Structure 1
Amino acid sequence: MTVQYKFPDGFWWGSAVSATQIEGASREGGKGLNIWDYWYEKEPDRFFNGVGPDTTSDFYHRYKEDIQLMKEIGHNTFRFSISWSRLIPDGIGEINKQAIQFYNDVIDEMLANHIKPFVNLYHFDMPLEMQKLGGWESREVVEAYARYAKTCFTLFGDRVKKWFTHNEPIVPVEGGYLYDFHYPNIVDFKKAVQVAYHTIIAHAKAIKEFRSVQIPNGKIGIILNLTPSYPRSSHPADIKAAEIADLFFNRSFLDPAVKGKYPEELIALLKEYDQMPEVEEGDRELLQSNTVDILGVNYYQPRRVKAKSHLPNPESPFMPEWFFDNYEMPGRKMNPYRGWEIYEKGIYDIMVNIKENYDNIESFISENGMGVEGEERFIQDDMINDDYRIQFVKEHLKWLHKAIEEGANVKGYHMWTFMDNWSWSNAYKNRYGFISIDLQTQKRTPKKSAYWIKETSQNNGFTE
């Protein structure tokens, strides 16, 4: 029996990238240093095979060829980020004319190829000069970001109608202030909370600037990596553990961005453990009156948790894991290269939650993907035969289709990523793209999944 999975008219088919991960040219075109350029200089050994952000997929010089390929594989939308340190090298002062030219050229080239640009303003790449002021710990940096956002809206808003303030804002909090996998490598929960809080204040200020610029038909949102928290069992202790994980990792950004206020349970918990951030007068009203128009959802894996087996060490740093243990469910399906569980139904559960608890806000899948190491093993007839990726996308799309059929307000699906790109500390270890890149020659070659997504986009769905 064949089943047809048809998506709504005008569905967004495309992919997502970030500036630092594809542009390259990290010291060209007047760009200032960001924290990745600096950290790589300082500790190159912490990067897989010693490959840093200067060695990326060279989109800066090859964007015309790449946009042509996007068109060829059926993209009608594409999300990329503007590099704050390229546009305003020190984060706050002079605007870089070469950067304006570059981003104008990219946007114009996309529109000429009937691809709508979705622009994200911040994807982990704090300008070094801003980090010296404390990064998101600093209110001064919050104000600088709001000015940067307004600059972008003014420069590019005549052609870009979909804007996003941050991608996965929880990740710099986790990586930079809790678990030591991003610069500045601090382990301090109170600072982490302050960073998270200032990020959402910066986000709200950017929305305020967006409204003041008044872009015709413009919409602004945020992109969150929502990771459903599943309890090990229906035992009340397991359920409570999952609820607390959800508060920390999902609702800490989802609630203020969509509802304009923080969950009471999160505030109570932070107060109980003396971890509240410093707030300023007017912040509450700022959040309430600057909620998002649209929500981007990144989904890769579920989070499974259980009640703690042992009391936390009182001498250890305060951490989210004081309240739950991670749980490895027996029989789970795994992507062994990334060490992540593959659980396709998670995408449906997220969308049902948004529909039921967040006013069914307009949303789309802004990232979903599968990183695989050593893909050259799968070359047949000069092409990577990535049936595993096609299967991964297809199974997620089936669950997304079910959510849409049940009334979820989902407008599109973007894959991570268009072409193999540099990953923050893993460089090119795992490949994610529809397009393969030969790092020696920079030659682009479509994988089998590229032809599959082209057909899916052209048919606005697939049959099975």
Structure 2
Amino acid sequence: MKYSFPDNFWWGSASSALQTEGESQGGGKGLTTWDHWFANEPNRFHQGVGPQDTSTFCQNWKADIQLLKQLNHNSFRTSISWARLIPDGVGEVNPQAVDFYNQVFDELLEQGITPFITLFHFDMPMAMQEIGGWENRDVVAAYSRYAQICFELFGDRVLHWFTFNEPIVPVEGGYLYDFHYPNVVDFRRAATVAYNTVLAHAQAVRAFRAGHFPGEIGIVLNLTPSYPRSQNPQDVKAAHYADLMFNRSFLDPVLRGEYPADLVALLKSYEQLPACQPDDSAVIAEGTIDLLGINYYQPRRVKCRDSAVNPKAPFMPEWFFDNYEMPGRKMNPYRGWEIYEPGIYDILVNLRENYGNPRCFISENGMGVENEQRFIENGQINDQYRIDFISEHLKWVHKGISEGSNCLGYHMWTFIDNWSWCNAYKNRYGFIQLDLATQKRTIKKSGEWFAATSLNNSFDKE
């Protein structure tokens, strides 16, 4: 069967500054939380590989953009590093960074590739973290200024802006589950970080609209559908709680301009609400977006708790649900994630039925695999598993679009095998293989498949 996509569909991939640029302490850049954390706890990073060893985009941007063109990308998402552009987060703009990003954006446009640019992709300037990070409203103000500077510097060429990538992840990682710096486990502080991130987002949106910049502004959310173990009312309620905390805590403010009332009531009843100021709700109401990026990797399966909560334990989301391992689920064993392709369709249906069918696109979807050298045939990685993964997800995207979902594109994670936070280079995600020793780039079989799919705006599949 042939799966054809709408005209002008966005075919591309996504990456981020911190995971690709390298030069983490060069080019006038300030330190990020990742530089600081790696310097202090290198043992937390796979094989001791830190952010200075990322995939050398700062040196190879021109050749890499040629490769994007070779893969028939018509669009590409990456981020600006706040710490590179404004090294201490609040002070002078770094002219070396302005030159670098100008060259990158100009070259992308020269090659017919539309830049999609994220302002914050987990890389808090250390100077900002030292005054409390997103717990401190001064950092919200500093971010708003940074966003305004980016619009002024690059807004004549960048027409698709995203305030944040996966803003729930720094909340989960940094303040609940100890997999990002500052490694805090404290729900109330996590709620403050999440709330202030929404305020920062809304202030950036307000600055964008006030400046009458061309183009549009949105946010990228990792949406993880919550599926109950059964239709038992307690399982359904558990899935509702998980959805409230991990999806709707950001989805509702950015699409509806307000928080879900039941989330507010829940946190209030446990005295976990962040500190609010009188005009916050008006600011948040102004933060509704033009375009939603959807990152989808896996579903969340939950059941009601089988045991009572220890009342002396720290308050956590898991007070309201347990994770559920569905028998017979399909797994990516390298990442430990379930592969469930219909989830991407369920997200589109939910947006269409409950959120007014916003303009959206798949901004990340991908499969990390360990030790891909096993699959080299005639000098090329034959990653048929990745082609199968992408095409099966695209079939469900196609179904959503055919039923009226306003989904405008598909960006794969990622372009070149890149550094992935604490996992470093353990799992590879790219269309292009990166040899760490030589920095040589080699297109994988999936890259050739994607180039053909983009060129034809369609693919054939049983």
Give the TM-score normalised by the residue count of structure 2: 0.99
Inter-partner Cα distance in structure 2 for 1:212 and 1:58:
36
Inter-partner Cα distance in structure 1 for 2:279 and 2:99:
37
Give a deviation string over 1:382-432, Cα, whole Å, max 9, x none: 000000000000000000000000000000000000000000000000000
Match of 1:39 in 2: 37
* Structure 1 position 349, deviation (Å): 0.1
Match of 2:74 in 1: 76
Inter-partner Cα distance in structure 2 for 1:307 and 1:30:
51
Match of 2:392 in 1: 395
Out of 333, 348, 353, the residue aligned to residue 336 of structure 1 is 333
Inter-partner Cα distance in structure 1 for 2:305 and 2:225:
19
* Structure 1 position 73, deviation (Å): 0.6
1:366 counterpart SS class? strand
* Structure 1 position 215, deviation (Å): 1.5
For residues 218-237 of structure 1, the aligned pairs below 5 Å read 218-237=215-234
Give a deviation string over 1:126-165, Cα, whole Å, max 9, x none: 0000000100000000000000000000000000000000
Match of 1:307 in 2: 304
Out of 18, 22, 34, the residue aligned to residue 16 of structure 2 is 18
Match of 1:64 in 2: 62
Counterpart residue identity of residue 84, structure 2: R
- Which 4+ residue blocks in structure 1 deviate beyond 2 angstroms? none
Give a deviation string over 1:6-37, Cα, whole Å, max 9, x none: 00000000000010000000111100000000
Out of 162, 165, 170, the residue aligned to residue 163 of structure 2 is 165
* Structure 1 position 333, deviation (Å): 0.1
Match of 1:356 in 2: 353
For residues 125-204 of structure 1, the aligned pairs below 5 Å read 125-204=123-202
Unaligned runs of 5+ in 2: none
* Structure 1 position 290, deviation (Å): 2.5
* Structure 1 position 289, deviation (Å): 2.2
Inter-partner Cα distance in structure 2 for 1:366 and 1:414:
5
Does 2:447 correspond to 1:450?
Answer: yes
Counterpart residue identity of residue 241, structure 2: I
Inter-partner Cα distance in structure 2 for 1:61 and 1:313:
52
Match of 2:280 in 1: 283
Counterpart residue identity of residue 386, structure 1: D
Counterpart residue identity of residue 155, structure 2: G
Give a deviation string over 1:68-127, Cα, whole Å, max 9, x none: 000001100000000000000000000000000000000001000000000000000000
Q: Percent identity?
A: 65
| Kept after mapping to 1: 8 A contact 2:205/2:286 | no
Inter-partner Cα distance in structure 1 for 2:316 and 2:267:
11
Inter-partner Cα distance in structure 2 for 1:164 and 1:435:
25
Q: How many residues align?
A: 461
Match of 1:28 in 2: 26
Counterpart residue identity of residue 20, structure 1: L
Match of 1:459 in 2: 456
Give a deviation string over 1:332-358, Cα, whole Å, max 9, x none: 000000000000000000000001111
Q: Which moved more, 1:409-418 or 1:311-320?
A: 311-320
Match of 1:296 in 2: 293
Inter-partner Cα distance in structure 1 for 2:323 and 2:391:
28
2:190 counterpart SS class? helix
Out of 231, 249, 257, the residue aligned to residue 260 of structure 1 is 257
Unaligned runs of 5+ in 1: none
Inter-partner Cα distance in structure 1 for 2:432 and 2:36:
29
| Kept after mapping to 1: 8 A contact 2:253/2:287 | no
1:54 counterpart SS class? helix
* Structure 1 position 314, deviation (Å): 1.2
